[in-house]
Amino acid sequence: MKVLFIYGTRPEAIKMAPLVKQLQEDEFDVHVCVTGQHREMLDQVLTFFEIAPEFDLNLMKPNQTLFDVTADGLKKIESVLEKTEPDLVIVQGDTTTAFVGALAAFYKKIKIAHLEAGLRSQNKYSPYPEEVNRLLISNIADYHFAPTSTALENLQNEKKCLNAWNVGNTVVDALLLGLKLLKARGVSFEKEFPFIDFSKRIVLITSHRRESFGEPFENICKALLDIAGIFDDIQIVYPVHPNPNISKPAKAYLSNNPKIHLIEPLDYQRLIWLMDKSYLILTDSGGIQEEAPTLKKPVLVLRDVTERMEGVLAGTAKLVGTNRMLIVSETSNLLNDPVEYNKMASSTNPYGTGDTSKKISELLKTVENG
């Protein structure tokens, strides 16, 4: 089977990497096309996992809009499909790259596999435009690889149960593979952060979603100041997204507090290393909600709605939104109460055990053979 992977952002690259490696190992005819929807962050992941794309569309440009990514991506992917003539196109998640990759394959009547299928928030504007992207992909995909039983149920409720399977999430495969690579390479990054006191409990923050721009993000910043004022034995570490809607208020509110360290965005290997060093994580990242439970790190989700409710239901995560008082109270509870902390830290990760890529490979062999 000739397989073409199409992806363009860092999260996609992370979740695709172990599947690319697995299908190569299992002797599929593998081709990789990246759109460059994220540029530098994408390249870092490709380098870390030693994946060399055959096609790089280099779509990223200053102030690009959804119209730009969609129109430019669709046209450029057309030529890639004509050159490779794949039997199957694999797209991941809910990015605009994933949508246009699937749509281009549909226009060429090429089969489509959707990795991480079935996530739903039931609100087409949250997350935006991701919720509609994944709905549209589900309507044209031939194979649906759901990450959880809930995601599979969503597909079944939408009458898309043919060729749909719960296989777990490749993000766990990627995390375990990444930590294995760091260990094998003897890598540690502690000397890169001499200003962080790693003898104290590390509270890791990531927040960048556009739905939080403005007052919601200001509430998050105020909550972090409150937490820093309450606890002496913590270090708050925040890799700040370069978007000025995030970076400007983050620096204005947080840059002068000695317990809060605003650092540059981290590449994947440094992020998973720092996650492993952390005590607690506050995030609006979907990937981190899935990764942290494998590392036994409780997660407080800085969103009002998440399409990853499995973690909340399993006890590995709690929704706190952007409510200042709720963020402070739930963080304080985990920092003060070892019983509550251990309850979350010891909960089972609902997103899998690290064998998702192998399951997908076996399923593709089965459907290829009829």
Q: Where are the domains of the chain?
A: 2-169+353-368, 190-345
Q: Which of 352, 369, 340, 370 is nearest to 145 (CA)?
A: 352
CA distance 254 to 284: 18
The predicted structure's pLDDT at residue 126: 82
Per-10-residue mean pLDDT of the chain, 370 residues long, equals 95 96 97 88 91 94 89 97 98 96 98 96 89 96 95 91 92 95 93 95 92 91 97 97 91 96 94 96 92 95 86 94 96 97 94 95 89
Which two tokens mark 65?
């809009």
CA distance 109 to 178: 35
CA distance 209 to 190: 28
Q: Which of 215, 236, 225 is nearest to 280 (CA)?
A: 236
Is residue 303 within 8 Å of 199, Cβ to Cβ? no
Indicate the DSSP class of residue 267: P
**Is the domain defined by 190-345 classed in CATH 3.40.50.2000?**
yes
The side-by-side arrangement of strands in the sheet containing 299-301 is 260-263, 234-239, 201-206, 280-283, 299-301, 317-319
Is residue 9 within 8 Å of 101, Cβ to Cβ? no
Task: List CB contacts of 233: < 8 A, sequence separation 6 or more.
Answer: 200, 201
**Backbone phi, psi, residue 210, to 5°:** -65, -25
CB atoms inside a 10 Å sphere around CB 77: 27
The predicted structure's pLDDT at residue 320: 96
Give the DSSP per-residue string, 114-151: EET-----S-TTSSTTHHHHHHHHHHH-SEEEESSHHH
Asked, as a colleague might, if the bond just before 127 is cis with ω within 30 of 0, I would say yes
The predicted structure's pLDDT at residue 370: 67
The CATH code of domain 2-169+353-368 reads: 3.40.50.2000
CA distance 112 to 370: 16
**Backbone phi, psi, residue 332, to 5°:** -60, -40
Is residue 367 within 8 Å of 164, Cβ to Cβ? no
Give 263-287 pLDDT, tens digit per residue.
999 999 999 999 999 999 999 988 8
Is residue 219 within 8 Å of 303, Cβ to Cβ? no
Q: Which residues are known to be catalytic? A: 94, 116, 130, 208, 210, 241
E strand or H helix at 29: strand 29-34
Q: Provide the phi-psi class of 213: left if phi over 0, else alpha when psi is between -120 and 50, else beta.
A: beta
Q: Do domains 2-169+353-368 and 190-345 have the same CATH topology?
A: yes
CA distance 360 to 18: 11
Task: List CB contacts of 67: < 8 A, sequence separation 6 or more.
Answer: none
First to last CA, the chain: 12
- Measured at the alpha carbon of residue 192, what is the angle toward residues 285 and 183, in degrees to the nearest 5? 75
